[in-house]
Amino acid sequence: KALSQVLFLTTHLPVFFLRHRLRSHVLEIRHLDRAMLRLGLGQLSEEELRAACYLRGLNSTHLEMSECRAWLEQWLGLSCKLQASDASLLANSMVLLSLNYVRAKE
């Protein structure tokens, strides 16, 4: 539900439009991930690091910077190995990685 708000998805739209919008957002995140990997996570400010986590579905307000960085490193490892045709897998991974990480911390 929270991820739907981040990606501007609403159930009031037709299914084909939601599918296209979700794929578009996931591919955009994938492109950002590749750029972030080239730049390096050490170049990001605290605010940018938290925003990057949020965009990928992780609520980082209760996490330390080292935990955000570790989660993003795991995410980038997965995201940058997948092909554009694996957009569905990346979208599902976004949900699974963020939910499981939060539960592990609580």
- Rounded mean pLDDT for each run of 10 residues along the chain, 106 residues in total: 56 73 83 90 92 85 89 86 72 67 50
Residue 96 near residue 58, CB atoms below 8 Å: no
29 CB-contact burial (10 Å; exposed 0-12 / middle 13-18 / buried 19+) = buried
Q: What tokens were used for 76?
A: 């980038």
Q: What is each CA distance from 99 to 37, 45, 64, 93, in whole angstroms?
A: 23, 24, 17, 10
Domain hosting 19: range is: 1-104
- How many domains, in total, are found in the chain? 1
Q: What is the pLDDT of residue 6?
A: 53
